[in-house]
Amino acid sequence: MKIARFSHDDRISYGIVDGTEIVVLDGDPMFSGFETLDERVPLADVTLLAPSIPRSKIVAVGKNYRDHVTEMGGADAQPPTEPLLFFKPNTSVIGPNNPIIIPPQTSEVSYEAELAIVIGSVAKNVPARDAHKVIFGYTLANDITARDLQRSDGQWARAKGFDSFCPLGPVIETEFEPAGKRIMSRLNGETRQDGSLDDMIHDIPAIVEYVTAAFTMLPGDVILTGTPAGVGTIASGDVLEVEIEGLGILSNPVA
């Protein structure tokens, strides 16, 4: 199922995408299941919003593709032996087609195409073999990063956490199978990143185990799984696209 969060007639709802229509749900499916209302709206008439606004947090994994570790640190750079975790605040989330705003504190902002895991139940100490039980679905993310502040601050909170620095969407796919899927980004239509989800150093079950060993994850919380090589600087007027086979395209202008 493709789960959308959308606005229509001044109302924000969740729904199940069914062809060119959305079947409207009675509430948030991450909390209240898939009870439908007797209502369908044309997909063309709605504004898609970020499919989840995490209640508590976005946990992100840094340096989880070998080629990206190399491009950031040189040929001798070694990936972290355990997942390298950081947070992005829920106030950094924007939806499809919303603008990424470059703040005045930075002059070097980069994109990072990532697979996002959306958590579906309260999750703590989940072993890798049970990870699928707490995953609601998957969507696309762009881990926008102020690269200059990432270097100068040491801590990544500000560099990764500005408002609008976490585009999510367009929808959550509950039946997505990550194995073998391509992950890409395009800047103004030109391909910049083109990798495979198979190239993650720490795979999805291992990430869920590692994250939930540290933090209680709540329904709607999101885990970003790292980015392949090809990151680069963006400027106002650019248009970014993230694409993963089977999950669609997440497009955002830069302002």
Q: Which residues bind Mg ion (CB under 5 A)?
A: 112, 143, 227
Q: Closest Cα partner for 115 from 198, 43, 10, 49?
A: 198
User: Taking the complex as a whole, how short is the minimal distance between the CB of residue 112 and Mg ion, in angstroms?
Assistant: 4
User: Taking the complex as a whole, how short is the minimal distance between the CB of residue 114 and Mg ion, in angstroms?
Assistant: 6
Q: Closest Cα partner for 53 from 98, 109, 8?
A: 98
Q: Are 182 and 194 in contact (CB under 8 A)?
A: yes
Which CB, 13 or 52, lies closer to Mg ion?
52
> Hey, what's the torsion of the CAs at 177, 178, 180, 185, to 10 degrees?
130
Q: Residue of minimal CB distance from Mg ion?
A: 143
116: helix, strand or coil: strand
Which CB, 143 or 209, lies closer to Mg ion?
143
Which CB, 30 or 208, lies closer to Mg ion?
208
User: Taking the complex as a whole, how short is the minimal distance between the CB of residue 240 and Mg ion, in angstroms?
Assistant: 14
User: Taking the complex as a whole, how short is the minimal distance between the CB of residue 63 and Mg ion, in angstroms?
Assistant: 8
φ and ψ at 236, to 5 degrees? -55, 135
Q: Residues, the chain, total?
A: 255
Which CB, 22 or 115, lies closer to Mg ion?
115
